[in-house]
Structure 1
Amino acid sequence: MDKALDACPSLSFLNRYGDRVQVDIEGVADQVPAGDATVSFRMHFTTDAGRFKTDHDSLITTVRSGEAIITVVSDSIFASQLSAAKKRSFLPKLDQNLLKRQADALREAQHS
């Protein structure tokens, strides 16, 4: 999973208005050990709805345990006019306890 992040630092998609949105992707250095393999990455993009720009940040964590995978997504959307410091304070953070509980439940479900 980490190799895919290294090979693809960005992507794009069409929004509901048909406009192409460019998304930057960045791997997360502080991985949470859970399951057999874990990868976390952030996605950032900006949308422009008329005169109002918003920044979108998502933290995506995928955990593989045996043959099954869980994905936890945390999103933040905020006004682009905010300072860089204020934007950083709104970045999604991974709840390590939640992820570990979910990975344990996934592992247990496969063995029951």
Structure 2
Amino acid sequence: MASHPRWHSQIGTTNFFLSLSRQYYNKRKTYFAHDALQQCTVGDIVLLRALPVPRTKHVKHELAEIVFKVGKVIDPVTGKPCAGTAYLESPLSSEATQLTKNLEELSISSAQ
């Protein structure tokens, strides 16, 4: 099925508890949402809002907010950018550490 340029398929994952085995399982469901400004890309983490009246048979939600753009995920605990389980060092902090090292080298050489 060809997708309309303003419709995006979103896959949501929810946890549910199965009382017989006493375990939590992930349940996946596909949502079709209206993206009026065409600002989403594949991999974005978004918040969807249910429409009061469905636009079509399948499109029953709209894009409410882009929580995280793909590749720009922030760890909610530390507030640092990360990719998977690895933290990404921001370019500014790596530049600052390099400048600090250069200053230390200069002060050592000037003291001698």
Q: What is the TM-score with the length of structure 1 in the denominator?
A: 0.24
Larger Cα-atom Rg: 2
Q: What is the TM-score with the length of structure 2 in the denominator?
A: 0.24
Which one has a larger percent strand, Structure 1 or Structure 2? 1
